[in-house]
């Protein structure tokens, strides 16, 4: 599990040979440590997030260059991999969310926007599709996702709110965040 720990980040960068310069920005072999953050559009929340990232990274000696682009360029940014850091959201809309795991983490999938992964991890992920028991499959997928997250290519940042408007009496549907109800359990209360 990741946690906010600037002191550990500084130690890790020191151990990797990145030393702070006079302006606090780290350098190694004459090159400053800087990253690009691609900001889509004018959303005030996204602007605030980029400002927070800038401040947090500066505190450990990393310069963050915010590159603002039109929200119309979303597909281009992803397909051309025009980012170092990029925030993108996704959530399962499928009651069998395990099927989406490969889309995020398999190294041979175009939808894996970072390109991370290994053939061995791909094989383990694909094997979860053969697990018939839903509980066992979910447990296996959760374990594999933790393993995939250790590559630090995708980092969960936050789970935002979901808002639904439903007629009174409709059961098992709504703002469920990480749970997707089975379609056969959705219906009208008696």
Q: Is the CB of residue 166 less than 8 Å from the CB of residue 173? A: yes
**3-state SS assignment for residue 38:** strand
What is the DSSP-derived secondary structure letter of residue 110?
A: T
| Domains of the chain and CATH, by start | 1-88 (3.10.105.10), 90-157 (no CATH), 162-190 (no CATH)
pLDDT tens digits, residue range 111-160?
777 778 889 999 998 998 888 888 898 889 888 888 888 877 766 666 66
pLDDT tens digits, residue range 94-107?
666 677 788 878 88
Q: Is the CB of residue 105 less than 8 Å from the CB of residue 121? A: yes
Q: Which H helix or E strand runs over 139?
A: helix 134-149
- pTM for this structure? 0.64
């Amino acid at each position: 599990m990741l946690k906010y720990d600037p002191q550990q980040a500084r130690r890790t960068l020191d151990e990797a040979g990145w030393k702070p310069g006079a302006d606090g920005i780290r350098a190694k072999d004459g090159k400053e440590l800087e990253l690009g953050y691609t900001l889509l559009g004018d959303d005030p929340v996204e602007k605030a997030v980029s400002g927070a990232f800038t401040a947090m990274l500066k505190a450990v000696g990393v310069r963050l260059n915010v590159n603002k682009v039109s929200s119309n360029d979303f597909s281009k940014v992803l397909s051309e991999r025009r980012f170092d850091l990029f925030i993108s959201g996704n959530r399962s809309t499928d009651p069998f969310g395990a099927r989406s795991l490969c889309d995020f983490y398999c190294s041979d999938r175009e939808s894996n926007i970072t390109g991370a992964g290994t053939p061995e991890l791909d094989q383990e992920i694909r094997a979860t599709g053969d697990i018939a028991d839903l509980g066992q499959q979910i447990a296996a997928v959760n374990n594999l996702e933790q393993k995939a997250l250790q590559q630090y290519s995708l980092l969960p940042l936050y789970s935002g709110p979901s808002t639904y408007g439903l007629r009174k009496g409709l059961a098992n549907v709504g703002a469920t965040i990480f749970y997707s109800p089975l379609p056969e359990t959705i219906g009208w209360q008696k």
